[in-house]
């Protein structure tokens, strides 16, 4: 539908003090439930664009439409509309210290609802619940300036979530966070999006994008928006994303082993299970039908695997007909269910060669847990590989799952 958007920017320009434009001719539509990464190097206008979306600054030229209304400085001076807008849109700043100014954590989180003159009992319940959900309740009486960087980021997020906004804007949210807090934040962002929140995140950390976004927007050094698109559809055109395609497999469009090497710390810190997937009797397919059909089989297998897993999971072509799949779930049963669903979906797939000829495939899968005390990811991959070969040696077309304490 033409009018199902939350935000729309139409030919927007913005400059500081009438100088050179920091944003030039920006056109962008954001719909309910979108999860967008705003990419670009420092100084390309990412923060400026977020501030426009938050109604903090206003286009010098062009239109900004939000919730069906043209957003202007005059419009935001309307107290009733401003109250409505502030409840709908939350902004987590890059520097948490800018956002935190109250005497205690509890007062910080309560600040927004208090400004909206909400009922005192409702405020208390809402603030206490938000602090508990984010693991901050024990810090409620602490002054924000005494907190660590990760704790400050959590308080800043709590001060936004307490308002229950429909749209959440994050400006470089993972900057200067320790790995544990980064992965916590990734989980929070993905859970909020699953609850129906619209998420827009600015970042220049390309390795984070597959973990936090499904769509991407790119701002160039010329301050122009050059790309809006679905992340998975754009994997095959990685020139603008990941080192001139160096982390994408050119045949299947999924990641290759270089992604594994470059993003090893993120993989070890974020993912909990690894699956090793192998196409059964792939050599026979190549020998019987030729390498073109073999390539088609690889592409269709990768496509089914990618569609079956969650957007927060990762698939890598490990070599030949083998794929690694990393799952973020912490539950054994969920990991096994995903592996079995992949196997079943491949088994049910038919690849049509001609009007009267099709190929049916099966796969074997080995799955194991990535242990937190393992310094080398190769140990988990080796265990998954051992389970894969057990599956192949005991009849193929099955999942062998290693339960590890």
Who has greater pLDDT, 23 or 228?
23
Greater model confidence, 198 or 243: 198
Residues 166 and 89: beta-carbon distance below 8 Å? yes
Task: Please report, for the chain, the start and end positions of each structural domain, with discontinuous segments joined by +.
Answer: 5-234, 257-401
| Residue 70, phi-psi category: left (phi > 0), alpha (psi -120 to 50), beta (remainder) | beta
Could you tell me where the DSSP H helices lie in 247-365?
257-262, 264-270, 282-289, 291-308, 332-348
Structure tokens at 305: 């695997």
| Fold matches, 5-234 and 257-401 | no
Mean pLDDT value of segment 127-151? 91
pLDDT of residue 238: 41
Q: In terms of pLDDT, which residue wins out, 348 or 352?
A: 348
pLDDT greater at residue 191 or residue 244: 191
| Greater model confidence, 267 or 62 | 62
Average pLDDT over residues 184-190: 86
**How confident is the model at residue 227, as a pLDDT?**
64
Q: Outline where 175-215 has alpha helix (H).
A: 179-194, 209-212
pLDDT band at 233; cut points 50, 70, 90: low
- Choose from 214-223, 287-296, 335-344, 367-376 the range with maximum mean pLDDT: 335-344
What's the topology of domain 5-234?
A: Rossmann fold (3.40.50)
Per-residue model confidence as pLDDT tens digits over 29-58: 999 999 999 987 778 899 999 999 999 999
Is the model's pLDDT at 236 over the cut of 50? no
- The predicted-structure confidence for 159-174, as pLDDT tens digits, reads as follows 999 999 999 999 988 8
Looking at residue 179, what is its pLDDT? Answer: 73
Q: Place 76 in a pLDDT band, splitting at 50, 70 and 90.
A: very high
pLDDT confidence of residue 230: 64
Q: What is the pLDDT of residue 229?
A: 65
pLDDT exceeds 70 at position 245: no
Task: Determine contact, residues 200/36, Cβ cutoff 8 Å.
Answer: yes
pLDDT at 376: 84
Selecting from 3.40.190.10, 3.40.30.10, 3.40.50.1440, 3.30.70.270, what CATH number does the domain 257-401 have?
A: 3.30.70.270
Q: Is 320 exposed, middle or buried (0-12, 13-18, 19+ CB in 10 A)?
A: exposed
- Burial track 242-256 (b if 16+ CB lie within 10 A, e otherwise): beebebbbeebbbbb
Mean pLDDT computed over 95-104: 88
Q: What is the pLDDT of residue 239?
A: 41
Where do we find the tokens 């030039």? Answer: 24
Q: Is the pTM of this model over 0.85?
A: no
Mean pLDDT (the chain) is: 88
Rounded Cα distance, 193 and 45, in Å = 24
Predicted confidence (pLDDT) at residue 281 exceeds the cutoff of 80: yes
Residue 348: the pLDDT is: 96
């Amino acid at each position: 539908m033409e009018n199902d958007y939350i935000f729309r920017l139409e030919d927007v320009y913005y400059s500081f003090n009438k100088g050179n434009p920091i944003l030039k001719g920006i056109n962008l539509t954001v719909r309910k439930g979108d999860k967008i990464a705003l990419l670009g190097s420092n100084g390309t206008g990412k923060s400026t664009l977020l501030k426009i979306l938050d109604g903090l600054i206003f286009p010098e030229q062009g239109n900004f439409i939000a919730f069906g209304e043209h957003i202007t400085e005059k419009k935001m001076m309307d107290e009733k509309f401003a109250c409505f807008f502030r409840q709908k849109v939350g902004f987590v700043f890059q520097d948490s210290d800018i956002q935190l100014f109250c005497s205690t954590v509890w007062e910080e989180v309560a600040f927004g609802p208090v400004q909206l003159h909400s009922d005192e009992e409702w405020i208390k319940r809402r603030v206490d619940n938000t602090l508990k959900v984010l693991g901050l309740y024990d810090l409620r009486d602490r002054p924000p300036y005494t907190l660590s960087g990760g704790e400050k980021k959590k308080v800043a997020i709590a001060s936004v979530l307490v308002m229950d906004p429909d749209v959440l804007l994050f400006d470089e949210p993972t900057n200067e966070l320790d790995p544990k807090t980064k992965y916590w934040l990734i989980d929070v962002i993905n859970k909020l999006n699953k609850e129906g929140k619209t998420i827009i995140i600015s970042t220049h950390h390309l390795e984070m994008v597959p973990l936090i976004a499904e769509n991407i927007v790119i701002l160039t050094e010329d301050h122009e928006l050059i790309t809006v698109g679905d992340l998975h559809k754009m994997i095959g055109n990685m020139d603008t994303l990941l080192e001139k395609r160096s982390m994408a497999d050119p045949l299947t469009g999924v990641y290759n082993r270089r992604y594994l090497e470059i993003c090893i710390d993120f993989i070890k810190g974020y993912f909990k299970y690894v699956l090793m997937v192998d196409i059964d009797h792939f050599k026979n397919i190549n020998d019987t039908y030729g390498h073109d059909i073999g390539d088609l089989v690889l592409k269709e297998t990768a496509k089914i695997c990618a569609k079956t897993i969650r957007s927060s999971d990762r698939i890598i072509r490990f070599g030949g007909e083998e794929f690694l799949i990393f799952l973020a779930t912490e539950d054994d049963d969920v990991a096994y269910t995903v592996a079995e669903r992949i196997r079943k979906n491949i088994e049910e797939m038919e690849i049509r060669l001609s009007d009267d000829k099709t190929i049916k495939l099966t796969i074997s899968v080995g799955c194991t847990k990535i242990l937190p005390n393992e310094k080398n990811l190769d140990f988990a991959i080796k265990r998954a590989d051992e389970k894969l070969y057990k599956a192949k040696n005991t009849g193929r077309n099955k999942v062998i799952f290693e339960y590890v304490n």
